Amino acid sequence: MKTIGLLGGMTWHSSHEYYRLINEEIQNRLGGVHSAQCLLYSVDFGPMDALERQDRWDEAGGIVVAGAQRLEQGGADFVVICSNTTHKSADRVQQHIGIPLLHIADATGRALCAAGMQRVGLLGTRFTMEEDYVRGRLERTYGLEIITP
């Protein structure tokens, strides 16, 4: 089993949800008392939130990169960012680690295409809905029409 690197804390609620869903899926697939092999690096969201609200994404991205590097150093086989908004730094993270970063837009895009959907609504933070890092990737890579409020 591969070791999942969960980059969380943005907020802890979403980290909890990722952890729960991943372990439920492992238990469904393997049965018994099996659980996922994973590492969690939890970022203190207070400073991250302040940086994001001040549009200081370069500094926020540095925190995210450092967290992903710690997961890699700890033995993770790949990294998952447990926050849609924080995917704004995903390309930068991938450039600074030697293991794959699984992007939320790719998982979402594949699932939507498999379900035969072409036009979908996107709800999230202002950053997630308005900026290109999720919306644009879904449109360009998966040919989806994205509708936001």
> Could you state, in order of their start, the residue ranges of all structural domains in the chain?
1-102, 104-149
Contacts of 109 (CB under 8 A, 6+ apart): 137, 138, 141, 142, 144
Contacts of 36 (CB under 8 A, 6+ apart): 1, 4, 19, 22, 23, 26
109-148: pLDDT as tens digits:
999 999 999 999 999 888 888 888 999 999 999 999 999 9
d(CA 61, CA 120): 28
The pLDDT value given to residue 80: 98
Phi, psi (rounded to 5 degrees) for 79: -120, 140
> Fold identical between 1-102 and 104-149?
yes
Q: Give 90: exposed, middle or buried? Use CB within 10 Å, 0-12, 13-18, 19+.
A: buried
Q: Does domain 104-149 have CATH number 3.40.50.1860?
A: yes
20-37: pLDDT as tens digits:
999 999 999 999 999 999
d(CA 57, CA 90): 12
Buried-state track 25-36, b at ≥16 Cβ within 10 A, e below 16: ebeeeeeeeeeb
pTM score, whole prediction: 0.89
CB-CB contact of 37 with 73 (8 Å): no
Q: Does domain 1-102 have CATH number 3.40.50.1860?
A: yes
Identity of the residue numbered 83: S
